[in-house]
Structure 1
Amino acid sequence: MYDVTIIGTGPAGLYASFYSGLRGMKTKLIDSQAVLGGKIHAYPEKMIWDVGGMPPLLGEQLITRLSEQAILFDPTVVLNSKVEGISQQDGGFLLSTETGETHTSKTVILATGSGILTPKKIGLAGEEKFIQTNLHYTVKSLARFKDKVVLISGGGNSAVDWANTLEPIAKKVYVTYRKDHLSGHEAEIERLLNSSVEVIYQSVITGLNGNDYIESVTLNGTEQLPVEEVIINHGYDSQNDLQEQSEVDIKMHPEFGIQGTSMAETSVPGIFAAGDAVNYDGKVHLIAGAFHDAANAVNRAKQFIEPTAVKTAMVSSHHESFKNKNKKIYAELEL
């Protein structure tokens, strides 16, 4: 029986793991993926600027740092395991997985983000073949696009961000979008429109042309555009059926996510939620907000198990667990 089991290992789940260690809780992390990091794996080479106190980091660098922090207190980590249901049992909760394994825990923190995300496919002839060569649904390596003619399909935040990122790297960047205006963040759209990126409005890809590689795309059924790389940013299909399949009644927010409170509580006592998984008035949809949710979730979980426990963990600068580590770091800094 664990004190807390955290489902999901994106920023919220990883920080919750670290913070529960600060609180001396026996912790388990479970994720359906084979690696820690959650949705950040969809953009490993995207630059992240808005994590407080940190220099701009690549997605993969942030994963590394969060993961190192998350396992500092030796939590049990279970990967490649999809939790399909939660039920109550004496003393806590029973978590069942698609492989038939079960886990028991006094409390649960849902850090499942938007669910298990699958990129929306374009659904054209040759798609599966070209995915093996130059049709992309995620950008794993910027070097791949150096001096290439790149077409990005989509007009939301992701498409606009990738167009701006690739503009100084690629030979030419096109953006094709079915509407007559882009729908990303205003500052990024303005940056794009003042760059060499060419936006083709009211246009959709209707054909992928080539043998082993896409050599051109057909737009609106007639126009042929020669390209060397194609990126599809049409959003994601989210598989988030954990709440539906659980015996416990976890209320959902009318807009999206789990209905929660600013203190990370859900409708089920003992089950908490953090990060993109939860929605409430005043919710901050940033990685920094995920850290805030995670700390609240752990603090509430701690008090759920031990009602007399203090409300928050001791600040790290005074925490006994870091005394020897701090001495070593100070010695290296010659302080």
Structure 2
Amino acid sequence: MTEQLELYDVTIIGGGPAGMYTAFYSGMRDLKTKLIEAKEELGGRMLIYPEKMIWDVGGVTPILCEKLIAQLSEQAKTFDPTIVFGQHIIRLEKQADSTYILEAVTGEKHWTRTVILAIGRGILRMAKLELEGAERYEVSNLHYTVQELEPFRGKRVLISGGGNSAVDWANELASIAAQVTVVHRRDHFGGHEKNVIRMKQSSADVLTPYEITQLYSGNGKAIERVTIAHIESGNSHELEVDEVIINHGLKSDFTGIKDWGLDMDDWNIFVSPKLETNLPGIFGAGDFVNYDSKLNLIAGAFTDAALALNSAKRYIDPDAPRMAYVSSHNERFKERNKALGVSDE
């Protein structure tokens, strides 16, 4: 079987921030690299909120998420890794020589010396609004993500949910919507504290603990008003709306990977400080990993990526340097610097 496959030093599963930066850093370490993404584009979970402003990446001023994805994607391709789309990896088979065969749902196979799992929250699916008939409005004014802000201009927008995305959407839409109302089943919001304070003080009408209990339509095509009910008292009232956004979280699918024998819980694999899993030659990075000093930011994913890749490099070659040389002294950048008209002297 392996005679028909090309052997890679590193195969990265997942094309989010951690996976993309791992591909770049792997090139810095002169490793033959493949990145496999289950979707048809890079970006991972960031694809859910392309118009969100990202503030917390070091050295990068506030940037639209879609632009950050584009820049990370361009950086990931610096050293020409092989990038494969549309393949959901489910099987792992260790070979006699300690290499691995990875297999996708579609049957394609990949041969690699090491694996870096950067799958975030797995195959993500939006949790739907569990009300009878809700699905009929998904083609009109019931939304599970906000791809563009402009369609909500001047509208009465109802947002149901309390996570980061719900809070961010409320803050972003406040300046262009006629009215933004947020309902959440709990008094506590899961978004970043500063953004939650901003939302409550100025951006939206916040109603807690409430939930949507009924949808109404005059023409059967779009939601015109909703009933919301207080979780504790059951008291309810109606709101007139033009657009409804649902952010009830994400359902994750780790089909296949849970059967590999990894030390993991429902959401994460547990790794060492060197981002090693309990399986030799298998490492992790990004939202999928958990360890004592884990930093759950995009910036933290970049650090995870470098640490995991360094461990993979040393797994392949125990005598290799502990980390890549900085870019000003890295041989792989010399020709690229010349192309940019930059002297190394």
TM-score (norm 2): 0.91
For 1:240, the aligned partner's letter is: F
1:111-155 Cα deviation digits (max 9, x unpaired): 001111111101223322211111111110011111111000012
Deviation at 1:90, TM superposition (A): 2.7
Deviations along 1:156-181, whole A, 9 cap, x unmatched? 33222211111112110001122344
Aligned residue number for residue 171 of structure 1:
178
Corresponding residue of 2:278: 267
Corresponding residue number in structure 2 for 1:30: 36
- Structure 2, unmatched stretches of 5+, are 1-6, 230-234
Asked if residue 281 in structure 1 is aligned to residue 295 in structure 2, the reply is no
- Structure 2 residue 124 is the aligned partner of structure 1 residue 83: no
Residue 219 of structure 1, CA deviation:
1.6
Q: 2:254 aligned with 1:251, yes or no?
A: no
Distance 1:181 1:14 in 2: 33
- Code of the aligned partner of 2:79: F
Query: Any stretches of 5+ residues in structure 1 without a counterpart?
Result: none
The reply to whether residue 302 of structure 1 matches residue 309 of structure 2 is no
Q: Does the 8 Å contact 1:13/1:294 carry over to 2?
A: yes
- Corresponding position: 1:230 with 2:244: yes
- Structure 2 distance, partners of 1:152, 1:250, is 38
Q: 1:19 maps to what in 2? A: 25
Deviations 1:168-222 (A, max 9, x none): 1211000112234444333222211211511122321112222211111122285
The counterpart of 1:197, out of the listed 204, 209, 215, is 204
Deviations 1:86-133 (A, max 9, x none): 121133111011011111100000000111111110122332221111
- In structure 1, give the amino acid aligned to 2:247: N
Give the residue type in structure 1 aligned to 2:139. Answer: Q
Look up the SS of the partner of 1:195 in the other structure: helix
Change (3 A) 1:98 1:326: same
* Of 261-270 and 237-246, the range deviating more from structure 2: 237-246
Aligned 8 A contact 2:46 2:69 in 1: yes
- Matched residues in 1 for 2:9 and 2:88: separation? 20
Letter of the 1:232 counterpart: I
2:3 is aligned to none
Structure 2: distance between partners of 1:15 and 1:36: 11
Q: How does 1:128-139 map to 2 (within 5 A)?
A: 128-139=135-146
Give the CA RMSD over aligned residues: 1.8
Q: What is the DSSP-based 3-state SS (H/G/I as helix, E as strand, rest coil) of the residue aligned with 1:268?
A: coil
- SS for the counterpart of 1:25 is coil
Q: How many residue pairs get matched?
A: 330
TM-score (normalizing by structure 1): 0.94
